[in-house]
Amino acid sequence: MKSDQWLAERTFHHSNFWDIKWLVEEKKKQGLSISLCLPTLNEESTIGKTIIILKSELHDRYPLLDEIAVIDSGSTDKTCSIAKSFGADVYDASEHLTEEGVRSGKGENLWKALYLLKGDIIVYVDTDIKNIHPRFVYGLVGPLIQAPEVHYVKAFYDRPIAFSGSLRPTGGGRVTEILIRPLFSLFFPELTAILQPLSGEYAGRRSILEKIAFPVGYGVETAMLIDIYEQLGLYAFAQTDLDRRVHRNQETIALGRMAFGVLRTFMSRLKREQLVELKNALPSIMRQYQVDDGVYRQVEYEIEEFERQPMIDVEAYRRKFDLQTQTT
């Protein structure tokens, strides 16, 4: 399918799915269960509001969500206790699937959510959103319920940047426009139609999520897009406009480290697909510089971008979901 045709047919606005009662009824007809994963690391200032709003509207009032779970990376603040007090299931990622080793990072949490949660559809929503609203869930779930051929839905939105104490409503997506979109244009041109490939909100069917690898760090969103695209093609995707997302913004130097991790993940896919040939293994050291009183100092960051194997290949997962007699 051409990108422009896909863009016209598979780009939605959250208001297309305002009728939550209809979504619940259709979900039941299809025999689907839906789980919400909230990955956290020291999010005490926002996690309570996130759970209250999403649970009250989409679990208690309208049973669109069958479970709401926080998958935590070892928070040292009150994130976990707050989440428990408001009725979310809370898991410490390091305490589960320990036989696979322990890694840290958002991607690790997303990967382990497949093992810990039971839904046929998994919704992932970042927990630093200051203007959280039920649309961040039903806008992503809607296309999956409405169209069985859709397997993965990405969010896009306006991302205001805090600037001199006020919000400038035209900013955001800096790594996307400087790094990801140029790379997609070169190697996966159809994927340029995905407006915000690095957005932290998306939903997918377990049937595809369990079959792809998960980088534990910065590259997880990019890897998901490329790997699902390689298996199912562009038509398996949809995207939903969620209007506006307000969150804390990272400094440019931090985005540099993010870009390094994403690029390592991207290059590994290019090598796998035989689109490039690498003579040597890519370095895992990102070098940046700091200046103090006119003295420049090099700072090195180890950014390995370790990848978790597809969950369907994990023995404990196969036992839990009774997949022992199936092949991958």
**Taking the model in full, what pTM does it have?**
0.92
CA distances from 74 to 43, 94, 100, 111, 259 (A): 11, 8, 18, 16, 24
Cα separation, 50 vs 126, in Å, equals 10
Strands 121-124, 89-92: pairing is: unpaired
Q: How far apart are CA 252 and CA 259, in angstroms?
A: 10
Tell me the CA distances in angstroms from 38 to 109, 210, 269, one per residue in order.
Answer: 9, 18, 27
Provide the Cα torsion 326, 215, 264, 235; round to 10°. 60
Q: How many distinct structural domains can be found in the chain?
A: 1
Cα distances (Å, whole numbers) of residue 266 to 55, 83, 220, 237: 36, 34, 10, 19
CATH (domain of 80): 3.90.550.10
Phi, psi of 128 (to 5 degrees): -105, 15
pLDDT, residue 29, reads 98
Position 267 scores a pLDDT of 95
Question: Would 313 be classed as within a structural domain?
Answer: no
Residue 318 lies in a domain: no
* pLDDT for 326: 53
> Looking at residue 39, what DSSP letter applies?
E
Containing domain of residue 142, as a range? 3-305
The amino acid occupying position 212 is I
Q: Does residue 310 form part of some domain?
A: no
Task: Dig out the tokens for 280 from the structure.
Answer: 């040597």
The reply to whether 166 falls in a domain is yes
- Say if 121 falls within a structural domain: yes
Per-residue pLDDT of the chain (328 residues; tens, 9 = 90+): 588 899 999 999 999 999 999 999 999 999 999 999 999 999 999 999 999 999 999 999 999 999 999 999 999 999 999 999 999 999 999 999 999 999 989 999 999 999 999 999 999 999 999 999 999 999 999 999 999 999 999 999 985 544 444 544 434 478 989 999 999 999 999 999 999 999 999 999 999 999 999 999 999 999 999 999 999 999 999 999 999 888 566 788 889 999 999 999 999 999 999 999 988 888 999 999 988 888 999 999 998 889 999 999 999 999 999 997 655 4
3-state helix, strand, coil in the chain (%, to 5): 45, 20, 35
CA distance linking residue 323 with residue 168, whole number of Å:
50
Domain annotation covers residue 203: yes
Based on its alpha-carbon atoms, the radius of gyration of the chain, rounded to whole angstroms, reads 20
pLDDT score, position 244: 85
Give a yes or no: residue 272 inside a domain: yes
Q: Is residue 312 part of a domain?
A: no
Query: How far is the C-alpha of 110 from the C-alpha of 91, rounded, in Å?
Result: 12
